[in-house]
Amino acid sequence: VLPFPSQVVYNRVGKCGSRTVVLLLRILSEKHGFNLVTSDIHNKTRLTKSEQMELIKNISTAEQPYLFTRHVHFLNFSRFGGDQPVYINIIRDPVNRFLSNYFFRRFGDWRGEQNHMIRTPSMRQEERYLDINVCILENYPECSNPRLFYIIPYFCGQHPRCREPGEWALERAKLNVNENFLLVGILEELEDVLLLLERFLPHYFKDVLSIYKNPEHRKLGNLTVTVKKTVPSPEAIQILYQRMRYEYEFYYYVKEQFHLLKRKFGLKSYIRKPRPRPEFFIPSPLETEEPIDDEEEDDEKWLEDIYKR
Q: Coil, strand or helix: which one is 10?
A: strand
Contact 169, 152 (CB under 8 A): yes
Q: Summarize the confidence of residues 269-278 as an average pLDDT.
A: 50
Secondary structure of residue 163 in the 3-state scheme: helix
In a domain, 147, yes or no: yes
Mind listing the pLDDT tens digit for each residue in 62-84? 999 999 999 999 999 999 999 99
Q: Does any domain span residue 281?
A: no
For the stretch 94-110, pLDDT in tens is 999 999 999 888 887 64
Number of compact structural domains in the chain: 1
301 within a domain of the structure (yes/no): no
Reference 67, options 99, 42, 102, 33; nearest CA is: 33
Contact call for residues 22 and 12 (beta carbons, < 8 A): yes
Q: What's the pLDDT at 224?
A: 58
- Reduce the secondary structure of 187-201 to three states and give it as a string: HHHHHHHHHHHHHHC
Residue 250 covered by a domain: yes
Query: 113 lies in a domain?
Result: yes
Residue 282 lies in a domain: no
CATH number of residue 56's parent domain: 3.40.50.300
- pLDDT, residue 42, reads 82
Q: What percentage of the chain exceeds 90 in pLDDT?
A: 67
pLDDT tens sequence across 212-264: 999 887 766 555 566 677 899 999 999 999 999 999 999 999 999 999 999 99
Residue 75: inside a domain: yes
88 backbone dihedrals φ, ψ, rounded to 5°: -135, 155
Q: Which residues are catalytic?
A: 71
- The pTM (predicted TM-score) of the whole model is 0.85
Question: Which range of residues forms the domain containing residue 200?
Answer: 7-268
256-280 burial: b if 16+ Cβ within 10 Å, else e: bbbbebbbeeebebeeeeeeeeeee
Under the banding of pLDDT at 50, 70 and 90, the label for residue 112 is low
The pLDDT tens digits of the residues spanning 20-64 come to 999 999 999 999 999 999 998 888 999 999 999 999 999 999 999
Q: Cα–Cα distance between 39 and 45 in angstroms, integer?
A: 12
Cβ of 91: how many Cβ atoms within 10 Å? Answer: 27
User: Does the residue 297 lie in any domain?
Assistant: no
